Amino acid sequence: MTGFLNVYKAEGVSSAFVVNRIKYLAHRPCGHLGTLDPLACGVLPVGVGNATRLFDYFLGKEKEYLARFRFGKTTPTLDREGEAGGEGRVPSEEELCAALPRFVGEIDQVPPLYSAKSVNGRRGYELARAGEQFTLPPKRVTVRQFSLLERCAPDEFSFRIVCGGGTYIRSLARDLAAACGTIGYMTYLLRTRSGPFTSDMAVPLDAITRDTLQMYLIPTESVLPFPTLAEADERLFHGVTLPCAEADGMYKVYRGGSFYGLARAAGGTVKIEKKLC
């Protein structure tokens, strides 16, 4: 059994809980493609069996979110799980729209202190909960779209965000507020897309059982964004590097009509890079 499950993670459930549940049902190694905080909901793709070998090919794939930010107060966690405090002003829609372009493109972003980032072998959230003082270095992330949708409450606005992997939406809430001269935090987060996986096709965890798992399992090759190698010489499956007229890049390879794995073409040659069967 190998493939992907497009799971709709509910609020209040950890990504690890989802993976462990699928692992229990499938009796196979499993892993998720990008964690969601317990507060967040939406798309959580889970690789089952040999599909976990492909995670590197999904790193940096684009993700899409619907988020709500509250302004005028903040929390230590930068989301509603922390205790809100502080006093600040609520920016106008015009101010927010004027500030948003600063956060589109490649930007340097400081992760939240309450995060899984490692500091000298310990998680940031462990140090923060223990009251220890520390800083996290900024990291380069890519935000392709960041748009204001509507005002949800006097102090709360909703946004649509399209970004690369590793982007912290909580940090965007903090930094957007700071750009408007105030403070803020995230109150809601829905991931509507992760690479080729979308929320409208996602399956609630409680709908996945031993009897239905195979029905919801998405074939590995169907979500890989690579063309198919036109002809696969049998020698290729025995580790031989062969001449190739295809353009440089990654290709899906089939053997006897079944998906075999991935091959990389480079400099006029091709060889198997990842075997799945």
Tell which CATH classification among 3.30.2350.10, 3.30.70.141, 2.40.50.140, 3.40.50.10070 matches the domain 63-194: 3.30.2350.10
Residue 119: what pLDDT? 66
Q: Using an 8 Å Cβ cutoff, are 144 and 163 in contact? A: yes
Average pLDDT (226-240) is: 87
pLDDT tens-place string over residues 9-36: 999 999 999 999 999 999 999 999 888 8
Q: What is the pLDDT of the chain when averaged over all its residues?
A: 91
CA atoms of 275 and 262, how far apart (whole Å): 7
pLDDT in tens, 102-144: 999 999 999 887 666 666 676 766 766 776 777 778 999 999 9
pLDDT at 118 (0 to 100): 66
Classify residue 159 as exposed, middle or buried by CB count within 10 Å of its CB (0-12, 13-18, 19+). buried
Split at pLDDT 50, 70, 90, the class of 156 is very high
Catalytic residue among 37, 108, 233, 248: 37
Least confident of 16-25, 133-142, 193-202, 257-266: 133-142
Label the pairing between strands 258-266 and 269-275.
antiparallel
**Confidence at residue 144, expressed as pLDDT on a 0 to 100 scale:** 97
Task: Look at 171 and 52; give whichever has higher pLDDT.
Answer: 171
Q: Supply the pLDDT for residue 5.
A: 97
* Mean pLDDT of the 41-49 span: 95
What is the architecture, at CATH level 2, of domain 3-61+196-222?
Answer: 2-Layer Sandwich (3.30)
- Is 56 a residue of the active site? no
The pLDDT value given to residue 87: 92
Q: What percent of the chain has pLDDT over 70?
A: 94
Same CATH topology for 3-61+196-222 and 63-194: the answer is yes
In the predicted model, what is the mean pLDDT of residues 245-249?
Answer: 91
Q: Which pLDDT value is given to residue 276?
A: 82
Enumerate the domain spans of the chain.
Answer: 3-61+196-222, 63-194, 226-275
pLDDT at 88 over 80: yes
Residue 128: what pLDDT?
65
Question: pLDDT tens digits for 165-186?
Answer: 889 999 999 999 999 999 999 9
212: alpha, beta or left? (left if phi > 0; alpha if psi -120 to 50): alpha
Question: ∠ CA 128-131-136 to the nearest 5 degrees?
Answer: 40
